[in-house]
Amino acid sequence: MDEQQPCPAAGTSTAATASSLQEGTAATPNGADVAPQPAERQPARWDSSIWSYERQAALEFATEADLDATIDLLWNDSELRGLPRVHVGDNTMIVPAEAVPFFQKKARHFVVRPVVNAGDLSPEEAAEFRRGTWNRS
């Protein structure tokens, strides 16, 4: 297969455009030249919206310190950087279910809880949930 060349800017030749690429830069799909990012700054493997994942899991941490340590992981660990999450209080965050194994290897003192769509609750369960007495087994 032929190697793709960067798209020349209007009024310039392909050779001139190719020679204008400085060493250590890469062409983006739209033809703009950008310096490559170090490996730890490369785009993450995670979709940016938690709602794009079919299943979510709630991670409930034993203490605020455990939650804070995990938040530090989200910023500093290359496997978790960019992971979408929703903080819901009570030392709990919602994450894509497929991320749970990463947390099991790296985080501490948490329990995985199911995330239930409010539309899946019966009216009685929804009323219990609002009262704080709902306990789905």
Burial class (CB in 10 A: 0-12, 13-18, 19+), 61: buried
pLDDT of the chain, 137 residues: tens digit per residue: 444 444 444 444 444 434 433 444 444 444 444 444 454 544 458 998 998 999 999 999 999 999 999 999 999 998 898 999 999 988 999 999 999 999 999 988 999 998 888 888 889 988 888 888 877 65
Q: What domain count does the chain have?
A: 2
* 8 and 66 within one domain: no
Reference 85, options 119, 121, 126, 44; nearest CA is: 44
Contact 91, 62 (CB under 8 A): yes
Indicate the helix (H) or strand (E) that contains 72: helix 64-76
52 CB contacts (<8 Å, ≥6 apart)? none
CA dist 57 and 97 (Å) reads 5
* 77 and 12 within one domain: no
CA dist 96 and 74 (Å) reads 13
* 7 and 72 within one domain: no
* 100 and 62 within one domain: yes
Tell me the pTM. 0.61
* 122 and 55 within one domain: yes
CA dist 93 and 110 (Å) reads 10
Task: Give a yes or no: residue 43 inside a domain.
Answer: no
Residue 119 tokens read as 């539309």
* 112 and 65 within one domain: yes
* 113 and 91 within one domain: yes
* 122 and 56 within one domain: yes
